[in-house]
Structure 1
Amino acid sequence: MSAPEPDENGAQQLLVVIDPVARRTDGESVRIAKDVLSAGATAKFCLPDGPAEFARVLARRGSRRPVVVGDDRALLRTVALLHRERDLSAGALSLVPVGVSVDLAHSLGVPTGAVAAARAVLDGVVRRLDLLVDDSDGVVLGDLRIPAPPGADGQPGRGGGPGGPGGSSVWDTCRSLVRTLVKPVPQVLAVHTHRLRVEADGVVLSDLDDPVETVTVRSRGGRAEVVIRTRSSAEPITASALSVTVSGADFRYRADAAVTGPVRTRTWTLQAGAWGLTLPAGLSPSGD
C-alpha cells in the first residue's frame, strides 16, 4: 500500500465528481464532504447531471486523482469506465459513500460517514484490490451470485403495489383481518434449482444433470473463490480458480448491485490487484 502523491506544491490535486443521486438523497453529507476535501487539498468539483456527463467528466480528469461522492452504483460505474479506458492500473480511486446503498463500499473498507471517508481520501493509503472481469467487459468488485435472488432487479415484490412498501389501503386492512381469523395452511417452501454447468479453470465442478441451487463467486487473495450448492448434496462444492465459466439454460446473475441477464454462458476472469482504492491507513476490507 502507498499514500497518494501530492503535486509539486505539496497539495493533492483532486477531481471530485458528485453523483446526482447523492445530491438528491443526502445534500448535507455532500456539503460536509466538500468542506473537508476543500480544506485539505486542491479540489475541482464537478456535478454531472447523468451517466453520460459523468463519463465525460471522468475522461477529462487529466492528472487529478478522481474522487467519487456517491453510492455503490456510482462506484461501480466509475470502475467500469476506468476499466474500459484500460486506465485502472494508472492510479487510485477514492470514494465518499453517500446514498441509500453503500454496503459494497463498506465491505471494501471505505468508512461510511462523510467526515471519516473524506479524511481517508486525504490521509489514507492506496490498497490494490482484485477485480472479476467477464467476457462482455463487465466488472465485479464484491460478490457474484447465480441466479439473481428474487426481487433483486428492483421490481416490487409482494406488498409493493401503488403507494410503495408500507402504504396502507382498504385491501391491506382486509387481508390483515382475514389472516387473524383464518388459521394458515402450513406450506413447504420450494427450493428452485437450475441446470447449469460450472467450470473453474476448465475443470467441470457441476454439470447439467445435477441441478444447482446457487453459485457464488468472489475474489479472495488473488483467486476467485467458487461455492456451488446443488440439490444432490448437503455439502457445497468449493474451488479456487483464476477463471469461472457458467453455462446452461437462460440465467440471470447479480454482480454487486446490478442484475444482468438472461444469458446462456458467461466467463469471469480474475485480475489480481487490478485497481487501487484509497482506504484508511491500517484498515483492510472485510473478508480478507
Structure 2
Amino acid sequence: MATSATSDQLLVIIDPMARHTDGESVRIAKDVLSAGAAAKVCLPDGPEEFARALGRRGSRRPVVVGDDRALVRAVALLHRHRELAGCALSVVPVGSAGLARSLGVPGGPVASARAVLEGVSRQLDLLVDDSDGVVLGSLGIPPASVPAEPVGAGTRPWLRTLVRTLAARPARLRVEIDGVTVIDLDRPVESVSVTPGMRGVAEVEIHPVSLGAESTPLRSCGRTVTVTGEDFHYRADAETSGPVRRRTWRVAEGAWGLVVPGP
C-alpha cells in the first residue's frame, strides 16, 4: 500500500561515506531538496552522530543521503527505538545502492531527490531476527561474499579468510519454516537464501549439495524461518554476521515505509 509523504519539512542526514566518495552527487541532492522543501541538513561524522540526528528529527521526514549501509542503519535504529511504523523514510542513493534500487528508489541524485519531494510512501515487509536485527532485502547462508571491510578486519585479518573459507564449503544446516523441517543436518547444502516477500511471508530457497546431476532447489515460504547449524555465518543485506548456531527470522508485515516515485 502507498500513501502520500505528508510532511514538507525534511531532515537530510548526509552519511560521511557519501561525502567522501561522491561529493558532487551530495551537493546536487542537497540543492534539489533545499529548493523543494524546508530542509535541515545534518553532517554527522560517524554512527553515533548519525543516530543522534535521526533521533532528534521531531516532525521532519528523515532523508538519508548515502549507500545501502546507511539505509539499513537508519531502518535498524528506527526499529530498535520502535519508531519505524510511524516514519516514512526516504533515501538518496550515493555509493553502492543495489538494495535501494531493488526497492524502487531511482538512481541518480536528481531523480531520487525529486522522488523524495513528490513520491509516496510504500509499506514494505522486513525480516526481524531473534537478536532484534533487521533484513530489508536478502539473507544469504553461508555468505556468498565478504564485506569490503568486515568488522575487526583491520586488527584481525584472519576474519576475512575465515568467512571466505566457511562460505566456500558445504554447510550442514537444519532449516525450519513455520516449525516444519524442510532440510536437516544430514543433508549438506550449498546455500540458503531468505527474502521478504509480499503479504507477510518470506521466500526461502535452499540449494542442496549436488551429487552428480544438478540438484533441484527447494523452494518454500512462511512467516518464520529458523536455521540451526554448527557455527554458521550469514549475510544480511550489506553485512556479514556470525558465527551463530541458531537464528530465527520472522516476517514483520508492512513494518516500514519507504518513499518511492508515485504511480
Superposition TM-score, scaled by structure 2 size: 0.89
d(CA) in 2 for partners of 1:22, 1:218: 27
Q: Deviations over 1:151-204 (max 9, x none)?
A: 413369xxxxxxxxxxxxxxxxxxxxxxxxxxxxxxxxxx73111100000000
Corresponding residue for 2:183? 206
Corresponding residue for 2:77? 81
Corresponding residue for 1:286? none
Residue aligned with 1:121, SS: helix
d(CA) in 2 for partners of 1:5, 1:246: 40
d(CA) in 2 for partners of 1:2, 1:89: 13
Corresponding residue for 2:206? 228
Specify every segment of 5 or more residues in structure 2 that has no aligned partner in the other structure, as ranges.
Answer: 151-167
CA RMSD of aligned residues (A): 1.3
Residue aligned with 1:126, SS: strand
Corresponding residue for 1:33? 29
Is 1:112–2:77 an aligned residue pair?
no
Structure with the greater alpha carbon radius of gyration: 1
Corresponding residue for 2:123? 128
d(CA) in 1 for partners of 2:208, 2:118: 46
Deviation of 1:4 after TM superposition, in Å, equals: 1.1
Match of 1:45 among 15, 18, 41: 41
Is 1:19–2:15 an aligned residue pair?
yes
Deviation of 1:254 after TM superposition, in Å, equals: 0.6
d(CA) in 1 for partners of 2:147, 2:40: 35
Letter of the 1:144 partner, please give it: L
Corresponding residue for 1:102? 97
Q: Percent identity?
A: 64
Residue aligned with 1:240, SS: strand
Corresponding residue for 2:228? 247
d(CA) in 2 for partners of 1:91, 1:27: 27
d(CA) in 1 for partners of 2:29, 2:207: 43
Superposition TM-score, scaled by structure 1 size: 0.82
Corresponding residue for 1:185? none
Q: Deviations over 1:209-268 (max 9, x none)?
A: 011110000011121001111126711111110000001111100111100011111000
Corresponding residue for 1:54? 50
